[in-house]
Amino acid sequence: MPTQSIIRSRLISGGVVALSLAAGTGCSVRDLTTRDRMSRGLVIVLPGIEGRSAYNVNIARGLDDGGVGSAIDIYDWNVPIPGGALLNLTAYERNLEQARKLARRIMDYQKDFPGRSVHLIGHSGGAGITVLTLEQLPSNRRISSALLLAGAVSPDYNLAPALRRTQFGIFNYYSPADVGFLRLGTSIFGNIDRSHGSAAGAVGFSRPAGLTEPEREEYRKLHQIRWSKQMARYGHSGGHTGWASRRFVRRYLAPLVLEQQRTALGDAP
């Protein structure tokens, strides 16, 4: 008979496949990436390991519903092959190269639209790519903020280099109820940073040991938001995909992005 570990592996593999199939191909967000919207800022949504899907489209549409008038685009960092979800999770060197490409895209945008806000929103594996992308930016470059939704990143990962490249910080949205994907799944298959165990998207981030004083200062810009029962009113019951509820995004994420954009404009000369 199959061992317990093999049974668990099959269950998680099935869950990943089901996630991909349920997501579908989603819809276009081309209308959210016009040059007029680009001139008002940029929000980049990074999908999970299922790739471009209805989930990340819902995030983009929820932001638009909530009044975010800047450009909202989806950066699909995944391998362009069917059934590549587990490869997306485990191909660290390829993921690092995708992060470099996105960092270059951000720098090109900042060159074309100086002073405009840039936000990254990563769901699940996309949260890990978000952190890697921030690390690839030059030390003198910053974006407005990064929002990590159900992030497949180890809880004690050193976020200081990523935090240093943000103005308002990193916002980690996590849910202890995310057991199947971010406790069991990441314990078997690993997180984006290749550690095994519960992910920060389930248990939150903790400060790693041995931080320097400047690194500890950067951690003041880490904001952690735990799932609450009130969020269920907006389509998020605490599971892995609830963060991608269009109603949740409109209610909780859009106001945060708008507030930061207004603050940045107020600070501009």
Residues 138-197 have pLDDT tens digits of 999 999 999 999 999 999 999 999 999 999 999 999 999 999 999 999 999 999 999 999
The reported pLDDT for the residue numbered 214 is 97
pLDDT over 60 at 12, yes or no: no
Residue 79 and residue 135: Cα distance in Å, rounded? 21
19 band by pLDDT with thresholds 50, 70 and 90: low
Q: Which residues contact 259 (CB under 8 A, 6 or more apart)?
A: none
In 3-state terms the chain splits into helix, strand, coil percentages (rounded to 5) of 50, 15, 35
Tokens 């945060």, located at residue: 256
| Strand pairing report for 143-149 and 118-123 | parallel
pLDDT: which is higher, 12 or 96: 96
Residue 194 and residue 101: Cα distance in Å, rounded? 20
Please answer whether residues 151 and 201 qualify as being in contact, where contact means their C-beta atoms are separated by less than 8 angstroms: yes
Residues 64-91 have pLDDT tens digits of 999 999 999 999 999 888 788 888 998 9
Residue 127 and residue 120: Cα distance in Å, rounded? 9
Residues 99-134 have pLDDT tens digits of 999 999 999 999 999 999 999 999 999 999 999 999
Per-residue b/e over 187-222, b at no fewer than 16 CB within 10 Å? bebbbbbebeebbbbbbbbeeeeeeeeebeebbebb
Residue 217 and residue 234: Cα distance in Å, rounded? 34
- In the chain, the amino acid numbered 61 is R
Structural domains of the chain in order of their starting residue, each with its CATH number: 4-267 (3.40.50.1820)
178 phi-psi bin (left φ>0, alpha ψ -120 to 50, beta other): beta
Please answer whether residues 36 and 256 qualify as being in contact, where contact means their C-beta atoms are separated by less than 8 angstroms: no
Here the tokens at position 27 are: 């819809």
Question: In the chain, pLDDT over 90 holds for what percent of residues?
Answer: 83
Burial class (CB in 10 A: 0-12, 13-18, 19+), 127: buried
pLDDT over 90 at 17, yes or no: no
